[in-house]
Amino acid sequence: MRFLLVMLGGAVGAPLRYLIDRTVQAHHDTTFPWGTFAANVTGSMILGILTGAALSEAVSQNVQLLVGTGLCGALTTYSTFSYETLSLVEAGARFLAVVNVVASVIAGLGAVFIGLTLAQAAFS
């Protein structure tokens, strides 16, 4: 059963990541990977909210597997982030590569913190 929950979440998260990436990137005519950035920050926010809800015992372990491991695991992507950062370096856009790393880490951690704080306030 747990395996199926992770699969179901992943089956939603992977196409969602693709749709977010394509939609966001279509609105930005730049080499900066805004689509991956948006997908990763969105997934971080969802995971923060889920973590806050889990710490408040407002969600079951099954929901954590479905949304956290499955959906967020497929929605967020370290490999694409790494590849796009390397591609920026190889294209000579070293400044954008550094911005991508720093902004992604700060925005991702910030999104988790905000999501966690919101969930704890809502479920406390």
What value does the CA radius of gyration of the chain take, rounded to a whole number of Å? 16
Is there a binding annotation on residue 68?
no
Q: Is 70 annotated as a binding residue?
A: no
* Phi, psi torsion values for 58, nearest 5 degrees: -95, -10
- The CA distances from residue 92 to 31, 33, 74, 84, 87, in Å, are 11, 15, 30, 12, 9
Binding residues for Na(+): 73, 76
Binding residues: 73, 76
